[in-house]
């Protein structure tokens, strides 16, 4: 499909630079395949869902994956994307024309890395020096990797260390937050428990590729970056049992959805999964593992807007986004939420 079919105009003042406070006070646009759009609030979720439904969260934890350093006199920026092994990461490089294989980058805080290899997509494999865990080095030299549409308007600060982390964050490895889950609070979870809404977790370490624009003119020509994820056998069994008993699986975020769909077979049965996924969901895709999606509002012409268009229909999502813009909803990572029922 043509990428420009997924374009829309968004006023710059709709881009949220801070999350709602408290988190569950964010607005939520409930969208079904047909009928009127329902303007709601995230804390109303227990009344919107049914007893027996299950929310699926991503428990990845964002690491301080944004680094600024020097190779000689040249300034080099690095955004870690995906772990290769204990000491090496794939990274997207700013000012990459000044970097060659075997060059050393000094990131400050006595943190250095060698550019081992330039990959075909222009990224590099960086090998970090020393014996300390890379996560320890990043805490010393890195900062939270806010999306470009936020970082371009204000500096990253101390608040972002907590604001850009979900309450479920447990397993280090993401370089972008699973932002749909930023809206949840202990109070909201307690209310969901009382309403009989269950929850499960999986892990997908979100990569920096989620921020990359789609440069191709046709979706067939776009190549997705892979991300590592895992669903254990016990979780898969519980999810399959929910559906067998008539409950609905609601993915909290496109990251949870993409991993569930990667792990499901043609009959909708979720299997244990561990490994990379580069699933690219566009209109025409047949969803197998999920019955709904809670997600923030996404960038024009992005792979994520293509995903929600595949779930709900492109014209329906264009109308939903037009309603959200006209109604003052806040967009992107720190913005408001939508709840989609196909």
Instruction: Give pLDDT tens digits for 124-142.
Output: 999 999 999 999 999 999 9
pLDDT for the residue numbered 38: 98
Q: What pLDDT was estimated at residue 20?
A: 97
Residue 211 has pLDDT above 80, yes or no: no
Q: Are strands 171-174 and 60-62 parallel, antiparallel or unpaired?
A: parallel
Q: pLDDT per residue over 138-186, tens digit each?
A: 999 999 999 888 989 999 999 999 999 999 999 999 999 999 999 999 9
Cα–Cα dist 342/340, whole Å: 6
Cα 268–Cα 271–Cα 276 angle in degrees, nearest 5: 110
Query: Is the pLDDT confidence value at 88 over 90?
Result: yes
Of the candidates 236, 230, 235, 232, the one whose C-alpha atom is nearest the C-alpha of residue 274 is 230
For residues 63-72, average pLDDT: 95
* pLDDT of residue 189 exceeding 90: yes
What's the mean per-residue pLDDT of the chain? 95
Q: Which of 49, 3, 13, 27 is nearest to 292 (CA)?
A: 49
| Bridge partners, residue 38, by sequence | 30
Contact 71, 109 (CB under 8 A): no
Cα 77 to chain centroid, rounded? 22
Tell me the mean pLDDT in the region 248-260.
98
Q: What are phi and psi of 134, to 5 degrees?
A: -60, -35
Question: Cα(14)–Cα(40) distance, rounded to whole angstroms?
Answer: 18
Q: What is residue 51's predicted lDDT score, i.e. its pLDDT?
A: 97
How far is C-alpha 230 from the geometric centre of its chain's CA atoms? 15
Q: Are 254 and 71 in contact (CB under 8 A)?
A: no
Distance of alpha carbon 19 from its chain centroid, rounded?
A: 16
CA 235 to chain centre: 21
CATH 2.40.10.240-classified regions of the chain: 66-142
The pLDDT of 310-327, averaged and rounded, is 98
Residue 39's pLDDT is what? 98
**By three-state DSSP, how is residue 191 classified?**
helix
How confident is the model over 265-292, as pLDDT tens digits? 999 999 999 999 999 999 999 999 999 9
3-class state of residue 233 by DSSP: helix
Quote the pTM value. Answer: 0.94
Task: Tell me how far apart the alpha carbons of residues 256 and 249 are, in angstroms, rounded to a whole number.
Answer: 11
Whether 181 and 167 have beta carbons less than 8 Å apart is answered as: yes
Measured CA to CA, the distance from residue 189 to residue 164 in angstroms comes to 19
Instruction: Say how far apart CA 56 and CA 53 lie, in whole Å.
Output: 10
**Superfamily of structural domain 66-142:** QueA-like (2.40.10.240)
Provide mean pLDDT across the span 106-117: 95
Residue 199 has a pLDDT of: 98
Segment holding 56, helix H or strand E: strand 54-58
Q: Rounded to whole angstroms, how far apart are CA atoms 82 and 100?
A: 20
> Model confidence at 210, in pLDDT bands (50, 70, 90)?
confident
Q: Does 44 have pLDDT greater than 90?
A: yes
Question: Comparing 148 with 335, which gets the higher pLDDT?
Answer: 335
Picking from 103-117, 174-188, 214-228, 324-338, which range would have the lowest pLDDT averaged per residue?
Answer: 214-228
Whole-number pLDDT of residue 223: 86
Is residue 235 pLDDT above 90, yes or no? yes
In this prediction, residue 205 has a pLDDT band, given cuts at 50, 70 and 90, of very high
CATH of domain 3-62+162-341: 3.40.1780.10
Mean pLDDT of 250-266: 98
- Give the DSSP letter of residue 95: T
Nearest-CA neighbor of 106 among 135, 138, 78, 71? 71
Q: What is the pLDDT of residue 148?
A: 87
CATH 3.40.1780.10 domain extents, the chain:
3-62+162-341
Question: For 306-318, how does the pLDDT look when each residue is reduced to its tens digit (9 = 90+)?
Answer: 999 999 999 999 9
Tokens of 240: 């399959």
């Amino acid at each position: 499909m043509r990428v420009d079919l997924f374009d829309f105009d968004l006023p710059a003042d709709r881009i949220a630079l801070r999350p709602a406070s408290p988190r569950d006070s964010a607005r939520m646009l409930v969208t079904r395949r047909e009928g009127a759009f329902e303007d709601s609030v995230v804390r109303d979720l227990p009344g919107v869902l049914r007893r027996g439904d299950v929310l699926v969260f991503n428990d990845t934890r964002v690491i301080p994956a944004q680094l600024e350093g020097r190779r000689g006199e040249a300034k080099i920026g690095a955004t870690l994307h995906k772990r290769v092994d204990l000491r090496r990461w794939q990274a997207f490089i700013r000012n990459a024309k000044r970097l060659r294989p075997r060059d050393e980058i000094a990131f400050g805080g006595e943190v250095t890395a060698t550019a081992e290899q330039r990959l075909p997509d222009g990224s590099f494999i960086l090998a970090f020096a020393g014996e300390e865990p890379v996560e320890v080095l990043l805490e010393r030299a890195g900062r939270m990797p806010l999306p470009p549409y936020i970082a371009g308007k204000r500096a990253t600060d101390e608040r972002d260390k907590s604001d850009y982390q979900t309450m479920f964050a447990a397993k280090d490895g993401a370089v972008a937050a699973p932002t749909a889950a930023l809206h949840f609070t202990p109070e909201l979870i307690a209310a969901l428990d009382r309403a009989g809404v269950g929850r499960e977790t999986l892990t997908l370490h979100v990569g920096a590729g989620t921020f990359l624009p789609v440069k191709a003119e046709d979706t067939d020509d776009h190549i997705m970056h892979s991300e590592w994820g895992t669903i254990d056998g016990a979780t898969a069994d519980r999810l399959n049992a929910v559906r067998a008993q008539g409950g609905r699986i609601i993915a909290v975020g496109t990251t949870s959805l993409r991993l569930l769909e990667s792990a499901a077979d043609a009959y909708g049965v979720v299997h244990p999964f561990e490994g990379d996924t580069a699933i690219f969901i566009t209109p025409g895709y047949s969803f197998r593992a999920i019955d709904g999606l809670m997600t923030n509002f996404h960038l024009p012409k992005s792979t994520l807007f293509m995903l929600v268009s595949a779930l709900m229909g492109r014209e329906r999502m264009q109308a939903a986004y037009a309603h959200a813009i006209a109604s003052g909803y806040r967009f992107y990572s720190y913005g408001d939420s939508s709840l989609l029922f196909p």
